[in-house]
Amino acid sequence: MKATSASLAVLTALVTTDLHAASAGDSTISLGELYVTPKESGTLRTDNILTSVDIMGSDKIEDKNVMNSWELLGQMPGIQLTETRMGAESGKVTFRAFNGEGYINGIKTLIDGIPSNVNSGNQRFIDMIFPLELDYIEVVRGTNDPRYGLHNIGGNVNMVTRQGGNYTDGRVTYGSFDTREVQLAVGHEQGNFAQNYFLAKQDSQGFREHSESNKYSLGGKWFVSDDEQSMKLGVIARLYHHQAEEPGFLTAEQLAASRTRSPAKNANDGDDRDMKQLSLHADFQLSDALALSNKLYYNSYDDDRKVTFTDYPVGNAPRQRRQWQERQTGMLSNLTWRAHEMLTLDGGINYEQQNNEYRRYRYNFSIPTDFDAAPARIQNDDHYTLYNTGAYVQAIIQPIEQLKIIPAYRVDTFSGNTELANGTKAELQDYGWIRQPKLSVVYSITPDINVYANWGRTFQILTGSDKPAYLTPGQAAFKPSINTGKEVGVKFKPFADSEARIAVWQQDATDEVANMPSTGTTVGLGETRRRGVDMQLTVQVNKQWTLWGSHAIQEAKVVSAFTAGGQSLAGKEVFSTPRYISNLGADYQFNDAWRFGLQARAQGDYYIDELNQQGKYGGFAVLDANVRYQLSDTTSLDLQLKNLTDRDYEYVWFDNFFWGGDDQPMFSPAPGRSAYLSVNMKL
């Protein structure tokens, strides 16, 4: 692979080094201030057992103005942001050369350790979380994490919210596009009982015409422990509602005429979304060496989306109403045994049951689409289930202080059935037991130089309510796509008060399928190969200056596959995958009252079609700035300027997945320069 010169010329980054003292064999990088009390009891921390881990602390999160919390991860290295900006369908994060189109959902998402992907693998539950509620965000890259199976193809993201403590924090924001936001976080801990509450409300007229958005989120945590701290029981509850208009995608001609317009065809487009999450937690320190952690959860997702993709007058495919009702019930249980100072054994089981419904209606041509009319066609009225049972075991072997060896093994099995609108009933593809061996090694050459390597397997299965996920009449059987990943890296301190990591990785998949259940689109990609180089650097220049940067070079190519028309895809790049992702940032603490910051993000162009014939789109380089003024011990002001240089860039997709004869790129422009002023109060 060749590096691209337009990558902001940055090496890489992710850290401001207040993380706990590094243990032997540590390869974790942190961005922002983190304090973790070292524990030789309880379940294992992620940074103690995995090798390619990044953690972003609350000080890099709580004061950021974002429309959706997945945008926060844009500060972290190698993270691709797919910013669709269509109301509640706002976008998502991906990495390790998995794109964000929704066809290959390769990233497991968790909130406080609770699985939080919808059936297709999309990350919609993240929208429930607002910045002020977060404690930290944890990203695990690669194939060596045995804790999770479903959707954990390229790694996982865990959004960890605040628990315990005594605080009352508020944030009020007003900014561009008549954006108004209020966040309130309250924590109260006394004796053995801890309570945490969160409330957020956000309203905005949006950057484009017909893009008004209104949402709120409520959350609560209640935890109780015993005097010896050997038992902790708790409940977490969340509620989220979002109503949003959709401005619609633009053709190239429409984009050139106006970046803010919303075509007449989209005047009735919009989304009404409700999500709920309830989880029960029970942790026990059974002895000094034995710890048990249990989680029981319920996720609810209801969505009613009305969308018009084009004003093409032929057929009814472009005008759709999509309704989801998904219910997930599951449990996770983990047991950790510190058998010896040189050996720790860790294992767990999980079970998830999904009871889902998906309805899709097609409407006749009209401008705008008349969604109150009787649908021209009922494409889907499906009821389907998905059951997953998984288990894993791993050993942390430390024969000498400088060396950790972590072998692991995971298995998953799936079952389920569907009932379609025409009365057809079918069972889920029979994948059998999917076996996933893994191995990680970390060696500390010196206290400042750690080298590591990992190898592991993950998997992709088909999702959705219809074929090919379910064996309807005439449907061929599919094997699971097996991803085999390997990585070598080094974490080191190139000079005083700095931290860096360089990693080279590759991930090979068999029988990969680009599958989008909401559109019924399936593209067999066969064998694929993803590979890349991740580089990160952070420098604490002095008490005032902190600098960081990251540069990820990546590619995703098809090794062997053919289109439905018989054209070879061998050597073609997987669509919507940029070749580089870069970050560069600086924080300057002028004095006790004033703080200044800059952050630059860049992403390369990408092909938008499977044959790589439609050209490359989607690249950008943007600069954000922020200023904080501390009015008093309890009150501060934040000014944030986003897209400071007013660069034009956009998300781009190719419309041939919906109908033939009108193939063209479609654009969703990003906002230009915008400003937000916030008042922060900590009581």
- Amino acid identity for residue 474 in this structure: G
Confidence of residue 25 (pLDDT cuts 50, 70, 90): low
pLDDT at 455 > cutoff 50: yes
In DSSP terms, 600 is beta-bridged to 584, 623
CA dist., res. 69 & res. 671, Å (int): 17
Instruction: Encode pLDDT of 496-515 as tens digits.
Output: 889 999 999 999 999 988 77
Q: Provide the percentage of residues in the chain whose pLDDT is more than 70.
A: 93
Closest CA to 410 of 389, 433, 432, 392: 392
pTM of the predicted structure, to 2 decimals: 0.93
Closest CA to 102 of 151, 144, 146: 151
pLDDT for 38: 43
pLDDT at 472 > cutoff 50: yes
**Domain boundaries of the chain, sorted by first residue:** 29-682
Tell me what the mean pLDDT of segment 36-53 comes to.
Answer: 66
pLDDT for 10: 30
pLDDT at 16 > cutoff 90: no
pLDDT for 18: 34
pLDDT at 20 > cutoff 60: no
CA dist., res. 672 & res. 177, Å (int): 11
Instruction: Encode pLDDT of 408-422 as tens digits.
Output: 999 999 999 999 999
Encoded tokens for 625: 């700035």
pLDDT for 41: 57
CA dist., res. 683 & res. 680, Å (int): 10
8 Å CB contact between 609 and 575:
yes
Tell me what the mean pLDDT of segment 146-166 comes to.
Answer: 96
pLDDT at 459 > cutoff 60: yes
- 198-219 in b/e burial notation, b at 16+ Cβ within 10 A? bbbebebbbbbbbbbbebbbbb
pLDDT at 37 > cutoff 60: no
pLDDT for 35: 46
pLDDT for 662: 62
Confidence of residue 220 (pLDDT cuts 50, 70, 90): very high
pLDDT at 8 > cutoff 60: no
SS3 sequence of 136-151? EEEEEECCCCCCCCCC
Query: Residue 42: which region, alpha, beta or left (left: phi > 0; alpha: psi -120 to 50)?
Result: left
Tell me the DSSP string of 610-665. TTS-S-EE--EEEEEEEEEEE-SSSEEEEEEEESTT----EEEEEGGGT-SS---E
pLDDT for 378: 94
8 Å CB contact between 455 and 145:
no
Instruction: Encode pLDDT of 189-206 as tens digits.
Output: 999 999 999 999 999 999
What are the phi and psi torsion angles at 60 (to 5°)? -95, 0
29-682 maps to CATH 2.40.170.20: yes
pLDDT at 21 > cutoff 50: no
Confidence of residue 370 (pLDDT cuts 50, 70, 90): very high
Instruction: Encode pLDDT of 577-611 as tens digits.
Output: 999 999 999 999 999 999 999 999 999 999 998 89
Confidence of residue 23 (pLDDT cuts 50, 70, 90): very low
Instruction: Encode pLDDT of 641-683 as tens digits.
Output: 999 999 999 999 988 755 444 688 999 999 999 999 999 999 8
Helices (H) and strands (E) in the chain, counts: 2, 36
Mean predicted lDDT score pLDDT of the chain: 90
CA angle 183, 188, 192 (to 5 degrees): 145
8 Å CB contact between 14 and 503:
no
pLDDT for 554: 96
pLDDT for 46: 78
Tell me what the mean pLDDT of segment 56-77 comes to.
Answer: 90
pLDDT for 291: 96
β-pair type (498-516, 481-492)? antiparallel
pLDDT at 32 > cutoff 70: no
Q: When comparing pLDDT for 36 and 223, which is higher? A: 223
Confidence of residue 104 (pLDDT cuts 50, 70, 90): confident
8 Å CB contact between 458 and 467:
no
pLDDT at 522 > cutoff 90: no
What are the phi and psi torsion angles at 287 (to 5°)? -160, 180
8 Å CB contact between 187 and 165:
yes
Confidence of residue 125 (pLDDT cuts 50, 70, 90): very high
Instruction: Encode pLDDT of 610-639 as tens digits.
Output: 899 999 999 999 999 999 999 999 999 999
pLDDT at 516 > cutoff 90: no
Contacts of 590 (CB under 8 A, 6+ apart): 544, 596
What's the Cα-to-Cα distance from 519 to each of 302, 453, 667, 671, rounded to whole Å? 18, 39, 19, 27
